[in-house]
Amino acid sequence: MRTWTLLFLSVIFACGCSEEKQVSVSPYLQNRLPLEPNPYIELPIGTVRAEGWLLEQLEKMRDGMTGHLDSLYPSVVGERNGWLGGDGDGWERGPYWLDGLVPLAWMLDDPGLKTRAMPWIEWTLGSQTEDGYFGPVPFETAPEPEPGIQKTPRRDWWPKMVMLKVLQQYYEVTEDERVIKLMLDFFRYQLRELPKTPLDHWSFWANRRGGDNLMVVYWLYNYTGEKFLLELADLIHEQTFPWTEVFLNEDCYRGPGLDHLYPYNTDNRYPFDEELIGRLCLDQLQSFHCVNLAQGIKEPVIRYQQDPDPRYREAVNRAFRDLELAHGQPQGMFGGDEPLHGREPTQGIELCSVV
């Protein structure tokens, strides 16, 4: 009798495994269909508490610049910052700071750091307009320039991508539903606006770093199941620099006179110049801004979740190989300041590329 029972259960198990895709059961957020299941799941912030050496490093960040940047650099991240409603710096630097400050505050469960972060979070959540836009209020007339202050472009898509990542992390530790509403309204706004003001309408940075935008769109889709987010993901990928094609290029130009590639590349806007794309390779000097590359290298595998074409994974594997061979340095990074410059020991790597 026991043998027949085991046989029956084996048949049931085999039938159950015949589905084309299996949905894993997890207490943590996993990809919804039709997205590919992720083999690894990122644990929410605070799930693991640091101890020993790692805790010491986090506390040094708290006691150093990360925990006190607003007092050390008030001209940029002080009260006049556009992400606090001010008329000062209104581009990427405020969100960049929050992208480190928010997870640090909750990983350490530090009241002081949370107090520093919350005015930025509250102002951002309250900044959304009826059409879905959020963030620094655009100027009606061109502002007076101030040395070292990035006042514009306030409507640029790129800084929004950084703040969306900040809000994603904030939601993971608080489950503040205002975050979900803001993102849904903003992504509807983005779906309406991108056809006429594409990612690189305000600056070229957003189309090189569209993978950051795509990453949050998929995260929100997994929470809400809103189908329009997959349509938006298609559009963002279409307008993002074609990293996959560049990484897979083999017959591209490697001769002399490549200095022109970097300025020409920065002006290559959507819809992209396919002839130039076909001439670009990672082993060329002067071909890419090192930070754009560091952020763009993940875009193919982010996209793979919705379009599981093996070429996306192959592109990233080849990119890491070519970077190490052509630009690899002993510290584990690739040489670039700001364009890629090879393995020269007299030049290093821009710190933003490491971050």
Residue given tokens 């903003």 in the structure block: 186
Cα dist from 224 to 128, 221, 304, 348, 352, whole Å: 20, 5, 20, 43, 32
Q: Comparing C-alpha atoms, which of 78, 83, 87 is closest to residue 99?
A: 83
The pLDDT value given to residue 76 = 97
- Are 314 and 248 contacting, i.e. CB atoms less than 8 angstroms apart? yes
Q: What is the pTM of this model?
A: 0.91
Q: 41 — alpha (psi -120 to 50), left (phi > 0) or beta?
A: beta
Residue 182, burial from CB neighbour count under 10 angstroms (0-12, 13-18, 19+): buried
CA distances from 249 to 174, 280, 282, 284, 327 (A): 44, 7, 9, 12, 17
Residue 289 DSSP class = B
Count Cβ neighbours within 10 Å for each residue of 322-351 and write b for 16 or more, e otherwise.
bbeebbbbeeebbbbeebbbbeeeeebbbe
The amino acid present at 148, given as its one-letter code, is G
The pLDDT of residue 312 is 99
Read off the tokens for 125: 């959540």
What is the residue-wise DSSP string for 306-329? TS--HHHHHHHHHHHHHHHHHHB-
Which residues of the chain register pLDDT less than 70?
Answer: 1-26, 253-264
What is the reported pLDDT for 21? 44
| Contact (CB, 8 A) for 353 and 291 | yes
Only one residue has tokens 């379009």, namely 307
Model pLDDT, residue 266: 73
Say what the pLDDT of residue 12 is: 37
Alpha carbon 287 to its chain centroid, in Å, reads: 21
Residue 279 has what pLDDT?
A: 84
Read off φ and ψ for residue 10, nearest 5 degrees: -65, -40
Alpha carbons 64 and 233: distance in angstroms, whole number: 38
